[in-house]
Amino acid sequence: MKQRTVKSTIEMEGIGLHTGEKMSLVISPAYPDTGICFRRSDIECEYTRVSPYTVTSTQLATTIQCGNNTISTIEHLMAALYGLGIDNAKIDVCGPEVPVFDGSSTAFVNAVYNAGVTEQAKARKFIKFKKRIRLEKDGKWIEVIPSRFFKVTFDIEFENESIGQQKSFINVTPESFTKELASARTFGFRHEVEQLWQMGLAKGGSLDTAVVIDGTDVLNPEGLRYRDEFVRHKMLDLVGDISLLGFPIFGHIRAYKSGHNLNNLFARTLIESANYYDIIELPDTVPVQNHNLELKPQGIS
């Protein structure tokens, strides 16, 4: 299997969740072994390759350090790139945050499908877990067990009746990611959103950028996109946070009530558990995932 990048440059523009201001974003093809790199294009800044150690905050969203500055809300974009099997890309963000769009990965997934994907001349590397690794904190837990695929099982329990208990499982491929996870939106409670507004935060938070719950009601007039949209969004966040490892994984991740903070601690723990995994390459003849994206090996290789 070969590494992959986007076939052409993608330009996007949308509102930032925190500032409520318009942010632009450019995703460009990158050479093999570049990984996913971010740069602030509104200030003097070098590209930073993402890793779990570049994360400086997991409050409300995943924020990375980029030179002397930060870029926040990277997780839904990261999830889309991982979900669609993009190994290498350079991302320029004109401002302190990635646009939130509708609070899901849909805009990024559509943009990558439109731009196309290019296979590159170098082999893709995978992390293959050999033993279970588990992390528990404050009644929440997350673990990985060996698997021939990348699978996620997620369990949430909220006292709020609109959410309640939800459990879901997915074998992550570009197709299943696109259909089952990509359009699940972030969610919050009305009183929390109002509190954030009073603190001058989440200025871009609205019914256009999140599912908002008030008591037992979902306030968005269009309702939910999936009956269990909440747990699906938690899985989307997990895929985005785990993608910071920098390699696609073979393993089954199971999580109970995890969030950005525990996801990031777990990603760091995984990297530091070198005896528990191998870095492998697969011969081109082994079909790992059924990639239906249009592939034209041209451009950057």
Given the complex with Zn ion, which of 183 and 186 has the nearer CB atom? 186
Smallest distance from the beta carbon of 104 to Zn ion, in angstroms? 8
Contact residues for Zn ion, defined by CB under 5 A: 186, 237
Smallest distance from the beta carbon of 119 to Zn ion, in angstroms? 29
Q: Catalytic residue among 18, 76, 252, 260, which?
A: 260
Smallest distance from the beta carbon of 279 to Zn ion, in angstroms? 28
Contacts of 98 (CB under 8 A, 6+ apart): 16, 23, 25, 71, 72, 73, 74, 76, 77
Given the complex with Zn ion, which of 10 and 239 has the nearer CB atom? 239
Q: Is 260 a catalytic residue?
A: yes
Given the complex with Zn ion, which of 135 and 238 has the nearer CB atom? 238
Crossing angle for the helix pair 106-115 and 75-83, nearest 10 degrees? 40
Given the complex with Zn ion, which of 129 and 177 has the nearer CB atom? 177
**Is 240 in contact with 74 (CB distance < 8 Å)?**
yes
Smallest distance from the beta carbon of 109 to Zn ion, in angstroms? 14
Given the complex with Zn ion, which of 29 and 205 has the nearer CB atom? 205
Smallest distance from the beta carbon of 238 to Zn ion, in angstroms? 9
Active-site residue numbers? 260
